[in-house]
Amino acid sequence: MGESNFWEREVVITELTKGKELMLQLQKHFDPMKQDVYRYLAAEILSSYDKAMSLLNGTALSVALRAVTPPLNPGRGLNPETLVNNEQNFYHSTSSHVDGRVVEGLFPIDGQNQDSLNLLWKMLAPRTEYVEARHGEEVPPEDGFNWRKYGQKLILGAKYPREYFQCVCRHCDATKMVQRIETEPLTFEVTYGESHSCGQENKNQNEELLVAVGTQVGRAAGKLSECYIPEMVTPNNSYKTKYPSDITYDTILQLFSDQPSYIHL
DNA sequence: AGCCTTTGACCAGCG
DNA sequence: TCGCTGGTCAAAGGC
């Protein structure tokens, strides 16, 4: 990332800090009677963090974390347990400065690091989004990237086949899977695999990052003050982030109260 | 000619 | 060890 993007990185860091403060306020003023509201707000803020972190992971962290980045199909790749039992996958590396950021290396895995490792695993899990087809169409909307379909598979128990895509750019490892939802035929589950190593992502990610941080964190902050419960239905073509059911509210709070030692903002 | 989609084959992980 | 399953490969055909 060039010097021209340095100020954008500063904005990202500033907004992430702001988001963290919002999260702390959320935690401070937590009211069990408004758990749904706060859960949603926490998810909104976390969504911004996920996006920002994933973008940053694409540059600095990806270097340090490449060894543990889960593959497109997590079930077949490394998992926290195997990492714990396979120390060679997790080295402690010295601190390094990448694009003006300090990135701590990973500590050797032992039982005490299991919680942090689980959080790391969640943060690195393949990004899954649900997208709705445009009105009158039965295909997912374009996501700003150019993809080439390289396979299709009928998954056991699924009504619709799963489609596999690669980035059209040569030497780019970006992949995605598209699965049409059986219960919602106009909704598609899109799972992104390896991140883009081509120029496409830089352009799109910078735009996405600024939009995400500038609007989502701000939007969440506004809703925080209003205790407003928004409708969970998004307009056509908008993206809804999927939150794994095993991520609890406590987990979200833990993300911010016990900031992982391997990331220094 | 080049790029794309389709589709059956192949391969690797898992139980 | 073997069968099942899902992800990828690669040949063939279309545009």
Query: Could you check: is the Cβ of residue A177 within 7 Å of any atom of nucleic acid strand C?
Result: yes
**pLDDT in tens for each of the 265 residues of chain A?**
444 345 445 555 655 666 666 666 666 665 555 555 555 556 656 656 655 655 554 433 333 333 333 334 433 333 444 333 433 333 333 333 333 333 333 333 344 444 444 445 545 556 777 888 777 667 777 777 888 899 999 998 888 899 999 888 777 778 899 998 888 778 888 888 777 767 655 445 444 444 433 334 444 333 333 333 232 223 333 333 333 333 333 443 444 344 333 333 3
Strand C: positions under 7 A of a protein C-beta atom: 4-10
Q: Among chain A residues 36 through 95, which have CB within 7 angstroms of nucleic chain C?
A: 71-73, 76
- Cβ of A153 near strand C (under 7 Å)? The reply is yes
Cα–Cα distance between A205 and A258 in angstroms, integer? 27
In this prediction, residue A43 carries a pLDDT of 60
The CA distance from A198 to A202, in Å, is 8
Instruction: State whether the beta carbon of A147 lies below 7 angstroms from any atom of strand C.
Output: no
Position A36 scores a pLDDT of: 53
Whether residue A148 contacts residue A259, with contact meaning beta carbons closer than 8 Å, is answered with no
Please tell me the predicted confidence (pLDDT) of residue A131.
Answer: 82
**pLDDT, position A163:** 93
Nucleotides of B under 7 A from a protein CB: 3-9, 13-14
Q: Is the CB of A164 under 7 A from strand C?
A: yes
What beta strand segments (E) does chain A contain? 96-98, 101-103, 127-132, 147-153, 162-167, 175-180, 187-192, 239-241
Q: How far is CA A77 from the centre of its chain?
A: 18
| CA–C1' A155–C2 (A) | 21
Distance CA A87, CA A78 (A): 12
